[in-house]
Amino acid sequence: MQEIKGIIVPILTPMHEDETINEQELRRQIERLISAGVHGIFPFGTNGEGYILSETEKVRVLEICVEQVNHRVPVYAGTGCVSTRDTIRLSQKARDIGADVLSVITPSFAVASQNELYDHFRSVAESVDIPMLLYNIPARTGNAIAPATAGRLSAVDNIVGIKDSSGNFDTILQFIECTWGSGFTVLSGNDSLILWTLIAGGKGAISGCANVFPENMVAIYTNFAAGNMTAARAAQDVIRPFRNCFKLGNPNTITKAATAMLGYPVGKCRAPFNQLSPEAESAIGKALEDLKAKGVIRA
């Protein structure tokens, strides 16, 4: 089984002005992130706009990621769909392409019971023979994985962990408590909670901010692992001004805009999620300048 740990990047999907995928820039971003020391590349997560890519596009993005990464770090593939059948099909395609780990988000729109969620994830896991992460982000999907359900699912052989993006630290603590001693990995999906998740017994994060300043996000984990809590805390705390920008728009739209402001031609998010107010653009620019002044971003 692939060890799940560290700072895993839900890599942006670069796009041209016509909203087609910019394959060349995707490859450049992979190289940039691996050079920064990230511990995994995760295509078509929330920051990768997996919610708006077609299945054909997802397959192509994953093919590029697997080829470009070339086994240097694990490749995580977001394969969750609304139906169990579609999720199984995409998960099997991802396995065949060469993904190392699957990330399966909860079904969305229709409300699912905990038994339905359990059966959904178990069925997907049993259809493939590679490790699988659960992905809990109830504000986006309308469905939350209960800690007790995560505990039940941790007994399924290749369900190895969960990414929690609820933003509720107590939920992360309960996931850790309900799976303690099982080898199950808990990852923070909220960049403000990475260090605290590590202290509590989690293993790292799937970090959207790592698209913008990857070295700093990696430093949270590496300094913690080395026992340097002062440096880990400094790397954690310095991201607050940028995180404060998220209240001004869709967070992954802000992350992509910030990456573009740093000079990387990643394009905009696909419409209709491609607009930011002048206030948001100004706040992002100010936060980036502040991070450059502090040496977090190399000018």
The set of residues, in sequence order, having a beta carbon less than 8 Å from that of 247 and lying 6+ positions away, is: none
Catalytic residues: 135, 163
d(CA 159, CA 230): 34
Cβ-contact 10, 206 below 8 angstroms: yes
Q: Which H or E run contains 64?
A: helix 55-69
d(CA 151, CA 149): 5
Which CB contacts under 8 angstroms, 24+ apart, belong to 143-149?
143/106, 143/107, 143/108, 143/111, 143/112, 143/117, 144/106, 145/106, 145/114, 145/117, 146/114, 147/171, 147/174, 147/175, 147/177, 147/178, 148/114, 148/178, 149/114, 149/117, 149/118
3-state secondary structure at position 130 = coil
Cβ-contact 76, 103 below 8 angstroms: yes
| Bridge pairing between strands 76-78 and 40-41 | unpaired
